[in-house]
Amino acid sequence: MPTDDLTLVRRARSGDQRAFGLLVERYQKKVYAVALGMVKDPEEALDVSQEAFVKVYRYLDRFKGDSSFYTWLYRITTNTCIDVLRRRGVNSSDSVEYDDTVQMDLSEASLGLLSSQVDTSPARSALRRELGEKLEEALAELPEKHRAILLLREMEGMSYEDLARTLEIPKGTVMSRLFHARAKVQRLLARYLNDEPAKAKTPLKKGGQGSE
Amino acid sequence: MSDPHCTSVQELSAHLDGELSVSARVALEAHLAGCPACRARLAELRAVGVALRRRFETQAEARDFSGFAASVLARLQPYRPPLAERLSVAWEEWKTHRPGTVLGGLGLIAAAVVAVLLLPQPPRPGAVADTGRQGPSLEAVSTDEQSHIAPVVLKTEGGDAIIWLVDHPDRPSLSLGTDASVPEVTPPAAVRPKGGQL
Amino acid sequence: MTVLLRSALLAACLLALPAVAENRVALLAEVVQASNEGTGVDPGLEKMREQFAKSGITYKSYHRVSHEQLQLAIGRAVEVRLPNAKTATLTLLSVKGSQSQVSVSLPPLQTTYTLGREGSVYLQAGPHANGVLILVLTPSAS
């Protein structure tokens, strides 16, 4: 039996729950990994992942098949995660802060920081674990939309085109949003790893143009 | 100090994702060849991605997903209404929307009649009322002679019956699974449930 | 449609059709995996976990592996396949009003019990993965 996504979707749509189960098994870990990055708590991430698949099944007849199944799946996943985050109320900033001095910060504050930490330290695994934790904290400081785009790009290797379709934004926005997400994470990481008491909440210097 | 000829970090970000145009990529790679600072910044960007991926993928791999798909399916529609209910709904709808075609279509009438037959009959006058919640009552429980396993019957507070299986002390022991799965059940000497209920 | 006409129609059809309701029982058969790994309890199984715990059987997680609506008819055995390669065979022995007598064979276990309109029977079906499988039989409203 051919098992490409669209075939399974078609069968699931006509009531074949086993086909839908195969789809779930194909994507469950990936969806979970993204959900984990979004909501942080593992149990909540598991619950959100299941909820996402439930929604997928319920809205199967709305899936036109003109986009790929997996971008549609991830759209549902990230939207479900964002709903959860908004319900929590923490860090639900819809407006995104853009700081054009970011470029200068990067080149001065964190040059050589990450690469060396990751590769050469003798207590490599301990440091890597700390880096992982700090990375999670930094990620949690990002606005949801930045978190989502960074996770989808890094975890799934989604092309800008797929990202645009998944997040329903223009392709130009994808490029700048990704860049800002990365820049912010790097800046936060630099602060954490340098043991600076001031964390990300310090007000950013507003740049000249604030553009999306 | 950033050299004005250095590429913007935004461009590095796009390059990392393989999304630069051919000409832009060629120009950037030429620049990178001679600029350790930009190479380092690119490595930084890449390192964040690698660390992020490793962080969440490891956790996802470590998680047991064996019951996940089943849980999703169970959340979809755990109980489909039994046939009688569905038929009775269909009968009601049919009555409401098609008053004029009472005698039309044998199939329709037959279905409706079956619905009436299968619906719970109204209590006949004088019939004994149900004495509250009545659970199942076990009449016989046994295990194969040759097996090393004996049944234990437990009646729950809600009136349900649990039939558990344990190693019979008189028979050679047989492993029932890993230690983690053996629950905290003390096989009662006599088959008596807790609380004196039966 | 008048009451009289409806009764007449009913009577006519009753004569023609076999007494369908008399020899059938609808059962919901669920296969649940219980284990001490993980802490998830599927929606709808919380009561099961609670009852088990009160009876002295404490597992941390309960997951519904499958569920199937069974129609039992007298003289016709119905099989339920379990993921640990076991098969449960259910046979309806008799029906008296709302009480039915069912026999279940789930090697090495055999049991016969009477069930009414409500109440579940939980049968331990052997180890599976890192826990045990439990076959849950519940009458469906009818």
Query: Average of pLDDT values for B94-115?
Result: 40
Q: Do residue A114 and residue B51 have CB atoms under 8 angstroms apart? A: yes
Identify whether A212 is part of a domain. no
Residue type, A5: D
Residue A43 lies in a domain: yes
Report the pLDDT value the prediction gives residue B120, as an integer from 0 to 100. 38
**What are the chain B neighbours of A32 within 8 Å (beta carbons)?**
60, 63, 65
Supply the pLDDT for residue A67.
Answer: 74
DSSP code of A111? T
Judgement on whether residues B87 and B59 belong to the same structural domain of the protein: no
CB contact, 8 Å: A46 with chain C? Answer: yes
CB C137 within 8 A of CB C29: yes
Search chain C and give the residue with CA nearest A47. C40
* Chain B residues inside the 8 Å CB shell of C51: 156-158, 160, 162
Give the span between the Cα atoms of C134 and C132, in whole angstroms: 7
Final residue belonging to a domain, choices B21, B56, B78:
B78
Residue A92: pLDDT over 70 = no
Residues A146, A184 contacting (CB under 8 angstroms)? yes
pLDDT at B148 over 80: no
Chains that touch B (3 or more CB pairs under 8 A): A, C
Tell me whether residue B28 is in a domain: yes
C115 falls within a domain: yes
Dist. CA C62–CA B71, nearest whole Å = 10
Q: Is residue A161 a part of any domain in this protein?
A: yes
- For B77, the token pair is 């529609």
- Do B114 and B169 fall into the same domain? no
Assess A121–B contact: CB distance below 8 Å, yes or no.
no
Per DSSP, A62 falls in state G
**Whole-number percent of chain C with pLDDT over 90:** 28
Residues A6-56: pLDDT tens digits?
888 888 888 788 889 999 999 999 999 999 999 999 999 999 999 999 989
Q: Collect all residues with Cβ–Cβ distance below 8 Å to B126 and sequence separation of at least 6.
A: none
Is the minimum CB–CB distance between A98 and chain B shorter than 8 Å? no
Closest by Cβ to C67, choosing from B74, B137, B181: B74
Asked if residues B139 and C114 have their Cβ atoms less than 8 Å apart, the reply is: yes
Phi and psi at residue C117, in whole multiples of 5°?
Answer: -90, -20
Percent of chain A with pLDDT over 90: 35
Report DSSP state, residue C68.
Answer: E
A44 CB within 8 Å of a chain C CB: no
Q: CA B68 → CA A29, A48, A51, C30, C69, distances in Å?
A: 10, 12, 11, 16, 21
- Dihedrals φ, ψ of A2, to 5°? -60, 135
In a domain, A211, yes or no: no
A25 in contact with C, Cβ within 8 Å: no
> Is the same domain home to B61 and B20?
yes
Degrees to nearest 5, angle at CA C78 with C73 and C83: 155
For residues C42 and B182, which has the higher predicted lDDT (pLDDT)?
C42
Give the three-state DSSP class for B17: coil
| A120 assigned to some structural domain | yes
Domain of B180 in residue numbering reads as 149-196
Instruction: Classify B81 as helix, strand or coil.
Output: coil
Lowest pLDDT segment from A134-143, B10-19, B167-176: B167-176
Chain A contact present for C39, CB below 8 A: yes
CATH of the domain at B71: 1.10.10.1320
CB atoms within 10 A of CB C117: 15
Q: How far is CA C22 from the centre of its chain?
A: 18
**Distance of CA B165 to CAs A190, B149, B187, C36, C57, Å?**
59, 6, 9, 18, 12
How does the average pLDDT of chain B come out, rounded? Answer: 63
Cβ <8 Å between C119 and B135: yes
A residues 43-72 closer than 8 Å to B (CB): 46, 49-50, 53-54, 57-58
Supply the ipTM of this predicted assembly. Answer: 0.80
Other C-beta atoms within 10 Å of B193: how many? Answer: 17
If one counts the domains in chain C, the total is 1
Domain count, chain B: 3
Read off the CATH number of the domain in which A131 is found: 1.10.10.10
* C38 at interface of A, judged by CB pairs closer than 8 A: no
Task: Tell the residue number behind the tokens 């039996």, with chain if given.
Answer: A1
Are A111 and B9 contacting, i.e. CB atoms less than 8 angstroms apart? no
Closest-CA residue of chain A to C39: A43
Of A144, A143, A138, A154, the residue nearest A194 (C-alpha): A138
Domain membership flag for residue C43: yes
Assigned domain for B110 exists: yes
Give the least confident one: A40-44, A168-172, B178-182.
B178-182
Residue C7 lies in a domain: no
Contact between B69 and A150 using a beta-carbon 8 Å cutoff: no
Which residue type is seen at A135?
L
pLDDT bucket at A182, cuts 50 / 70 / 90: very high
A6-20, B1-15, C14-28, C34-48: the lowest-pLDDT one: C14-28
Give the mutation candidate from C3, C5, C27, C57 for the B interface (greatest B CB count, under 10 A). Answer: C57
pLDDT greater than 50 at residue B50: yes
What is the residue whose two structure tokens read 């023609």? C16
Rounded to an integer, what distance in angstroms lies between the CA atom of residue B158 and that of residue C51? 7
Q: Is the pLDDT of residue C110 over 90?
A: no
Torsion angles phi and psi, residue C29, rounded to 5: -110, 120
The C-alpha of C124 sits at a distance from chain B's nearest C-alpha, in angstroms, of 5
What is the predicted pLDDT for the residue at C59? 84
The residue range of the domain holding C103 is: 22-139
Note whether B159 contacts C: Cβ–Cβ < 8 A. Answer: yes
Task: Pick C55 or B182 by higher pLDDT.
Answer: C55
- What are the b/e assignments for C51-88, b being 16+ CB within 10 Å? bbeebbbebebbbbbbbeebebeeeeebebebeeebeb
Share of chain B above pLDDT 90, in %: 9
pLDDT at A81 exceeding the cut of 90: yes
Lowest mean pLDDT among A86-100, A188-202, C21-35, C105-119: A86-100
Total domains in the fold of chain A: 2
Cα distances from B138 to residues B55, B111, C11, C52, C67, in angstroms, run: 53, 36, 38, 18, 23
The domain of A77 spans 5-88
- CATH classification of the domain holding A67: 1.10.1740.10
Q: Domain check: are B56 and B33 in the same one?
A: yes
Residue B147: band (very low, low, confident or very high) from pLDDT cuts 50, 70, 90: low
**Between residues B169 and C6, which one has the greater pLDDT?**
C6
Check whether C96 has a pLDDT greater than 60.
yes
Q: Give me the pLDDT at residue B184, please.
A: 37
**Within 10 Å of residue A108's Cβ, how many Cβ atoms?**
11
